[in-house]
Amino acid sequence: VSTGGLLVYAESNVESGKQVVEKNQPESKKKRVVVLGTGWGGTSFLKDLDISSYDVQVVSPRNYFAFTPLLPSVTCGTVEARSIVEPVRNIIKKRSGEIQFWEAECLKIDPENREVFCRSGIRDNLAGHNDFSLQYDYLVIAVGAQANTFNTPGVMEHCHFLKEVEDAQRIRRTVIDCFEKAVIPGLSEEERRTNLHFVIVGGGPTGVEFAAELHDFVHEDLVKIYPSVKDFVKVTVIQSGDHILNTFDERISSFAEQKFQRDGIEVLTGCRVISVSDHFINVKVKSTGEHVEVPYGMVVWSTGIGTRPFVKDFMRQVGQENRRTLVTDEWLRVKGCGNVYAIGDCASVDQRKVMEDISSIFKAADKDDSGTLSIEEFRDVVEDIIIRYPQVDLYLKNKHLLEVKDLFRDSEGNVRKEVDIEDFKLALSQVDSQMKSLPATAQVAAQQGAYLARCLNRWDQCKSNPEGPRRFKSSGRHEFLPFGYRHLGQFAPLGGDQAAAELPGDWVSMGHSTQWLWYSVYASKQVSWRTRYLVVGDWVRRYIFGRDSSR
Ligand code: FAD
Ligand code: MG
Ligand code: MG
Ligand code: MG
Ligand code: MG
């Protein structure tokens, strides 16, 4: 370690990931990068990667990128499926054709031999499929996650998921089917009610948004064309926690609950689904332990995400069998395995705890080796600490501490001039409680993809010191910073042209104006002018003509 930088100190015990420079490879030969997945993480990586210095191959079972935040709108035809997908080959074409794309699914990764095994044509069960393998120097795993049933019996067989474009299209057809079935002559009222009972399991952002979309679809469009059954329609959200949208600010979560109550969307909180059969959902009410059978016409299961089987397999190979998701360090390198990176929903970043590194932080900050730290010495390194340990910044903000020196007050509230290691530990002891794992969102995946592309683009400059500190004033080198997430806020569309938003700086906004903000943000986030035109066109069409209700 050349400089006594904090970032380096803390990193010295990370086992994996250091770039192995292959000696016998000719200098001119480009390094091969294989990217698995063309979702948020994969495409954002491809958009920013400098392809003149790499040989890039992309593998994904879908030859398009899907703008997932608009999937709930696809379920009811507010926007069309074609409007939210962009062909991968269009994205690649813009990069002057040096990226190769293979429509195939990765089945296995062999980290020893740096090889991935793929198969084309299994998604659609095409008669003949082709197996092939690809060699890589760097592998980027960006395969996302799959729906999680928590092994609940019957879910796979009877429920819809809302993860892929195909899922959204299937839901749209099923909603219409339920209405068509409910108007058939000769049915009892009970049967009509059952057919028109739409149940959503999971009160997270996806479940809530879908419930709101469906409610609008039913009340703005379908009741007009199926007037005879309009009083039999019911939408229910089943949530195991006490509130829906519980990752949002409380104000938003109660606004959503009140809006749903006014709209007649039933919210069953504190209820767990035990099993699903072809006509009933078996629900356990947590408070009483009582079991209830709920008849349904359609169920959408939206309770969270799980790891794909081949990623599980890979985790076993690299010694991560006890982890829930694939774990990387803050440079997004898969732990326990060199030259493999993972981004987005398939991975989680293991953040370092301040308390684990406290002695080395102290030593590095104590420039004069006096055994105590003056406030000046601490102030000199605090920027580095905040980059390396973002929880310190959060702690300062949450405690409303304007200055770092406020960390070092004694019992009478006076700022100390010097602290020893014990005081230092005490001052920072609560800091790690601010650590939060990154959410599984498009925002995180896209930022990680862009970050990783930046790292690879600067690989040559950084090779000598891949994880050095940036701000060490003495060193003018280019170095890698650990990945830092910037939260830009989140939206929850609630139907009836109302939305709620949580923006940085504890800012919450709700209502019709927020829906307009939502429209403009999502229009601007579109990946191409083509999809932007299509999406905005769909919104206008819906406004004028309503949604299309043909199957
Ligand atoms: P994905 O985008 O899921 O991409 C995974 C890619 O890997 C896909 O191209 C897939 O085809 C491919 N793949 C799968 N298996 C293999 C394999 N074996 N080999 C090779 N490739 C494979 N996030 C937000 O920030 N805001 C929102 O409003 C929002 N709304 C959402 C609404 C819905 C309905 C859903 C489902 C998600 C929403 N999200 C939202 C979450 C967001 O979509 C995910 O966090 C994001 O897609 C994660 O990106 P990713 O690249 O990790 O995975
Ligand atoms: Mg991806
Ligand atoms: Mg995607
Ligand atoms: Mg993740
Ligand atoms: Mg000192």
CB 256 within 8 A of CB 494: yes
Question: Is the CB of 105 within 6 Å of ligand 1?
Answer: yes
Instruction: Give the rounded distance of the alpha carbon of 223 from its chain centre.
Output: 35
Please give the distance, rounded to the nearest whole angstrom, from the Cα atom of residue 400 to the centre of ligand 1.
36
Atom of ligand 1 nearest to the CA of 168: 34
Secondary structure (DSSP) of 143-201? ---EE--TT-TTHHHH-EE-SSHHHHHHHHHHHHHHHHHHTSTT--HHHHHHHTEEEEE
Please give the distance, rounded to the nearest whole angstrom, from the Cα atom of residue 517 to the centre of ligand 3.
22
pLDDT value of position 479: 55
pLDDT value of position 175: 96
Residue % of the chain over a pLDDT of 70: 89
Highest mean pLDDT among 312-316, 330-334, 353-357, 476-480 belongs to: 312-316
What number is the average pLDDT over the span 465-493? Answer: 65
Please give the distance, rounded to the nearest whole angstrom, from the Cα atom of residue 40 to the centre of ligand 3.
5
- Return the residue whose CA atom lies nearest to atom 32 of ligand 1: 69
Please give the distance, rounded to the nearest whole angstrom, from the Cα atom of residue 420 to the centre of ligand 5.
9
Question: Is the CB of 40 within 6 Å of ligand 1?
Answer: yes
Q: Is the pLDDT of residue 468 over 80?
A: no
Element (H, E) at 507: strand 507-511
Q: Is the pLDDT of residue 3 over 60?
A: no
* Predicted confidence (pLDDT) per residue in 369-421, tens digit: 888 888 888 888 787 788 778 888 888 887 777 677 777 777 787 878 888 88
Lowest model confidence (mean pLDDT) among 172-186, 278-292, 470-484: 470-484
ipTM beyond 0.90? yes
Question: Which ligand is nearest to the Cα of residue 366, counting in written order?
Answer: 5
pLDDT value of position 12: 37
What number is the average pLDDT over the span 53-65? Answer: 94
* Predicted confidence (pLDDT) per residue in 201-236, tens digit: 999 999 999 999 999 999 999 999 999 999 999 999
Atom of ligand 1 nearest to the CA of 38: 9
- Return the residue whose CA atom lies nearest to atom 41 of ligand 1: 441
Residue % of the chain over a pLDDT of 90: 64
Mention every residue, 6+ apart, whose C-beta is less than 8 A from residue 431: 354, 355, 389, 391, 392, 395
Return the DSSP state at 284: E
CB 211 within 8 A of CB 260: yes
pLDDT value of position 379: 81
What number is the average pLDDT over the span 161-189? Answer: 96
Question: Which ligand is nearest to the Cα of residue 73, counting in written order?
Answer: 1
Question: Is the CB of 68 within 6 Å of ligand 1?
Answer: yes
Question: Which ligand is nearest to the Cα of residue 145, counting in written order?
Answer: 1
Averaged confidence pLDDT in the chain: 87
CB atoms near residue 154 (< 10 Å): 18
The predicted model scores a pTM of 0.89
Environment class of 25 (CB within 10 Å of its CB; exposed 0-12, middle 13-18, buried 19+): exposed
pLDDT value of position 397: 80
Top mutation candidate among 36, 133, 143, 169 for ligand 1, by most atoms within 8 Å of CB: 143
What number is the average pLDDT over the span 306-311? Answer: 97
Please give the distance, rounded to the nearest whole angstrom, from the Cα atom of residue 345 to the centre of ligand 1.
7
Rounded to whole angstroms, how far apart are CA atoms 281 and 270?
Answer: 15
Top mutation candidate among 162, 208, 441 for ligand 1, by most atoms within 8 Å of CB: 441
CB 491 within 8 A of CB 73: no
What number is the average pLDDT over the span 422-433? Answer: 86
What number is the average pLDDT over the span 98-113? Answer: 94
Question: Is the CB of 139 within 6 Å of ligand 1?
Answer: no
Top mutation candidate among 36, 40, 526 for ligand 1, by most atoms within 8 Å of CB: 40
- Return the residue whose CA atom lies nearest to atom 15 of ligand 1: 143
Rounded to whole angstroms, how far apart are CA atoms 549 and 175?
Answer: 9
Query: Rounded to whole angstroms, what are the CA distances from 201 to 249, 297, 350, 438, 518?
Result: 21, 13, 30, 23, 25
